[in-house]
Amino acid sequence: MDEAQKKKVADWVAEGLKLSEVQKRLDAELGVRMTYMQVRLLLDDLRLVPKDQPPPQTEKQIGSTPPAPKASGGPAQPTPRTPQAPRQEPAPAPGKVSVSVDTVTQPGTLASGSVTFTDGNSATWYLDQSGRLGLAPKKEGYRPSPEDIEDFQFELQNQLQKLGF
């Protein structure tokens, strides 16, 4: 595409056209036939954001609850579903390793959750796409004892088996 055509596409996006509308105009006005994905990549190359893309979710949006529906005489409107918060386990008994599995896993992981060790320190854990287990202690520099690590791995295996892993 030449600069004049790129300028036209940028103007269309600035007007608020959606990606599919840009695709149709490219064909109708410029005679350039592109697939939806090709148009998407073109806009990405031009650093343009079409209106039909939802804004990226931030951590506050993910954990927020939807506003309460307004009372009205009409039929009840369905409320949008929000992701579930991680399942909270009861506080562990002193001297025991407690493992919980998130109901909504962290992005880029097969499974994730949290663990509380016998000394009361806690960490988040994850199992990545390659099957590697990662542990991120909440207290900087904390290292659980070898016995706690062994108990953690055993309890994690039990929890994952219950979930069908």
Mean pLDDT, residues 71-88 taken together: 49
Q: How far apart are CA 151 and CA 56, in angstroms?
A: 38
Mean pLDDT of the chain: 78
pTM of the model: 0.43
More confident residue, 46 or 83: 46
Query: Does residue 10 have a pLDDT over 50?
Result: yes
By 3-state DSSP, what share of the chain in percent is helix, strand and coil, each rounded to 5?
Answer: 35, 15, 50
User: With bands split at pLDDT 50, 70 and 90, how would you rate the model's confidence at 161?
Assistant: confident
Identify the three-state secondary structure at position 95: coil
Residue 162 main-chain phi, psi, to 5 deg: -60, -30
Q: Which residue type is seen at 3?
A: E
Of all residues in the chain, the percent with pLDDT exceeding 70 is 73
Q: Answer whether 97's CB lies under 8 Å from 116's CB.
A: yes
pLDDT, tens digit (0-9, with 9 covering 90-100), for 94-152:
568 999 999 888 888 889 999 999 999 999 999 888 888 889 999 988 999 999 999 99
Please compute Rg for the chain using Cα positions: 25
Query: What's the pLDDT score for residue 128?
Result: 87
Query: Does residue 39 have a pLDDT over 90?
Result: no
Q: How far apart are CA 31 and CA 51, in angstroms?
A: 23
Residue 97 main-chain phi, psi, to 5 deg: -80, 130
Query: What's the pLDDT score for residue 117?
Result: 92
Query: What's the pLDDT score for residue 20?
Result: 86
- Of 27-31, 46-50, 106-110, the poorest mean pLDDT is in 46-50
